[in-house]
Structure 1
Amino acid sequence: MKAFIIDSYNGPLHAAEVPTPTLGPRDVYVKVMAASVNPLDTLVRGGEFKQLLKYSMPLTLGHDVAGVVTDIGSEVTDFAIGDEIYARPRDLRIGTFAEYIAIDHADVALKPTTLSFEEAAAIPLVALAAWQMLVDTAHITPGQKVLVHAGAGGLGSTVIQLAKHLGAHVATTAGTSSLALVKSLGADLVIDYRTTDFADELSGYDLAIDAVGGDNLMKTLTVLAPGGLALGVTGPPDAGFATQLGAPAPFKLVLSLLSRKVRAAAKKRGVRYSFFFMRSNGEQLRELAALYDTGHLRPVIDSTFAFEQTVEALAYVEAGKTKAGKVVITHQ
């Protein structure tokens, strides 16, 4: 089958003929109808997690998929041939930039019936991340205050909507051209980062989600209420990340050192910092599908590329050309 692979870390993405996936007893075999591009694809290609996630080369990239089940493993009882599904395959089993993929059934859910394959493919990673940040980690309740940076992005646009659904007051930062979009998604307070310093305008936030990193993350700590939590998406990673991936103890020490500066700054202010890395979860995708089908959430798509243009799609994201939402690769 045709897939888009890398032969080594930092190597170019290119088309290749690769063996069709092997169907395990717990797997569903999926004909890919659409996939989407995430910054995580760039990080994996660049070897950012190579000490913790031991991928074999050549590696097919791609973390999001929507498609049709064409076969099921001997132990699978919750899916049938012909089902329309969406998923974020678990780490070490990625590879949605391909014609077919085998996915553990626990990572899969029936796609929202109201959405096209292209729309559904834009959802899994960012929706799971938003759910796990807001519900599993921060336990957001009505009236709490949430700040999400880069509100027009794939993650930010999803966090805004879910946080509002949970009853939170939501602030976000965005560029001038995206202000109307993030307001339409439900943001209560929108700050144009090109003209205004968010740290001068905000205070008392219970949760802040930062996908920018660096100085922006350090400044984000200053707008949290006592005991508030900052979640970093781009880093620095901490010992909890190593624990999540089941890494050996030495890696926990290394990551603890990498995040020492921001954790010390957080402690000094009486707030908390944690690195966030989402987990695959088909059950949560089922709950999220219901929210999309009832209109509480909607996907935001920047642009679509044909499957044959997958290299161009990744380059588009890597070049920072995405203006709002996700970039989708379609097989239709």
Structure 2
Amino acid sequence: MPPTRVGAMRRRGLFVSGAIQRMRHGPAPGRWILLIGVSLVLGVALRWCGLPAGFLLGPMIAAIALSVAGGAVAVPRVPFQLSQAVIGCLIARTITLPILTEIGAQWPVFLGGVFSVIAVSLIIGWLLTKWQVLPGPTAIWGVSPGAAVAMTLMSSAYGADARLVAFMQYTRVVIVASAASILAAVLAPSADGGGAGSWWPSSVAGRGGTLLVVAVGFVVARLLRTPAGPLLAAIVIAALAQDLLGLKLELPLPLLAVSFAFVGWGIGMRFTRSTLSHAVRALPAVIASILILVLVCGGIAVLLVVFAGVAPLTAYLATSPGGADTVAIIASSTHVDVAYIMAMQLARFFAVMLTGPFLARMLTRWSGYHAADRA
């Protein structure tokens, strides 16, 4: 290649690199432009590769990279919560009365799957605490499956390092989401753009009713002030409106893509340099504990397949120790029993919320750790 051409390419590379550096460390609008652009490119690329939830994982990866590089932006709380409500409506479309009746008939298997995952995560956390791999009860809170926001917020009140808990929780979400997306693409590739919707639904009543459900779910969640409140409130309200009032929930694909992006950004922006600096020493143990948890949950899924006759991908996603919203997006992008998956995920969410503080305190005592031992 001629030297002049090499020099020109080098100058272009330096110009692009300098532009990215200025945008990354510049005003928030420039960083938002960079975040949206990279998210769009990654989302389209992942969807082109056949990965379900590409418009979740792409923005999530982009947000992690930007945040760790020092260019984090504040994801607006209102759009983030509205996005959860939209995803709640997406989930509710699959929660029909016949499916709920079928799940109710299998309640022993259902409860067994929920509490098996919780038990495995607590055992792993207890061992990490007893072996003093992580300080105090941090490991117990960090490996708790689901309810990532709630576990992070509550952990500091019980002697855990909230920063390391956040790192463990959201690293698990990323690993689980990536693994589940790849597995879903192999076992049940989706035929649409990553969500149960069309480009612009024809039913005006359905569109209006769905947006009303999103708004009501958002308001109810703000009043109740519960973690993942918009997601849960929208699921309940939308399911009731659909099954009892006959509302046809309509969700345009552009709305779903934007909602997926906000959820991905909300997760990714929690990965800061400060959080990572407190996790460097424990990184091998964190990754190992997450992989062990994922593998054991996969084993529980195999038991559901063999003894309960659940479809393999449905069983894997149902027992997957990821956040309910990310699993919901992946499940809705593939041909699986979404209602079964989300029922088990949400039941585990409530079980962790109710039993987490008590079990964390109990297991911390059993591990021999005392508050006076903290450095």
Higher helix proportion, which one?
2
Tell whether the structures are fold-level matches, with TM greater than 0.5: no
Kindly name which structure, 1 or 2, has the bigger radius of gyration based on alpha carbons.
Answer: 2
Higher strand proportion, which one?
1
Q: TM-score, normalised by structure 1?
A: 0.24
Q: TM-score, normalised by structure 2?
A: 0.22
Identify the structure with bigger relative contact order (alpha carbons < 8 Å, sequence gap 6+).
Answer: 2
